[in-house]
């Protein structure tokens, strides 16, 4: 009957739309790369969190194993506190260190975890003790200039001593 036909077609349309949405979420976006249940939280404090954003990846050995949940300010020690959600499947030693890295030269920033050698593992809610802050471009430039200046000065001294 006409009506049945119509309903089937509409159903197909809705399915098509849903498939498109799923395709977009999985293939185009980052839904598949991380599942949302079974995570535990770890914290890390940095002197400078740089351009780190919420939902930026947490990687170890280059593989995404977590996401940044929130970034807050600790006004007792004047540091940035990053709360991460790590996939429950992966445990890290208690002396793991965390670095803020940049993907590519000018890309988005993320946290990289370097595992330590401790027998005991980090428990949910623990903080990572060893951290390395983000590289700030201005500091880098300043260091280069200072280094160059120091080198130049040293050479002159050598020449002067001759």
In whole angstroms, what is the distance from residue 101 CA to residue 148 CA?
25
Binding track over 101-130 against other proteins, x by CB under 8 A:
--x----x----------------------
Binding track over 32-71 against other proteins, x by CB under 8 A:
xx-------------------xxx----------------
The pair of structure tokens assigned to 111 is 């946290």
DSSP helix/strand/coil, 131: strand
Q: State in angstroms the smallest separation of the CB of 83 from other proteins.
A: 15
Q: What are phi and psi of 75, to 5 degrees?
A: -90, 10
Binding track over 13-32 against other proteins, x by CB under 8 A:
xx-xxxxxx-xxx-xxxxxx
Q: State in angstroms the smallest separation of the CB of 23 from other proteins.
A: 5
Q: Buried b / exposed e across 147-157, counting CB within 10 Å, b at 16+?
A: eeeeeeeeeee
In whole angstroms, what is the distance from residue 45 CA to residue 52 CA?
13
Q: State in angstroms the smallest separation of the CB of 11 from other proteins.
A: 9
In whole angstroms, what is the distance from residue 57 CA to residue 42 CA?
14
Report the interface residues with other proteins, using CB under 8 A. 3, 6-7, 9-10, 12-14, 16-21, 23-25, 27-33, 53-55, 103, 108
């Amino acid at each position: 009957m006409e009506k049945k036909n119509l309903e089937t077609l509409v159903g197909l349309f809705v399915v098509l739309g849903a498939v498109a949405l799923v395709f977009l979420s999985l293939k185009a976006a980052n839904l598949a790369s991380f599942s949302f249940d079974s995570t535990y939280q770890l914290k890390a404090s940095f002197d400078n969190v740089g351009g780190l954003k919420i939902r930026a990846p947490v990687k170890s050995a280059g593989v995404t194993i977590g996401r940044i949940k929130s970034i807050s300010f600790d006004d007792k020690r004047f540091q940035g506190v990053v709360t991460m959600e790590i996939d429950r499947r992966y445990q890290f030693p208690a002396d793991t260190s965390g670095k803020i890295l940049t993907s590519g030269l000018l890309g988005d920033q993320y946290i990289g975890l370097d595992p330590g050698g401790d027998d005991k593992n980090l428990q949910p809610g623990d903080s990572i003790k060893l951290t390395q802050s983000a590289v700030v471009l201005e500091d880098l430039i300043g260091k280069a200039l200072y280094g160059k200046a120091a080198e130049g000065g040293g050479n002159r001294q050598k020449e002067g001593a001759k």
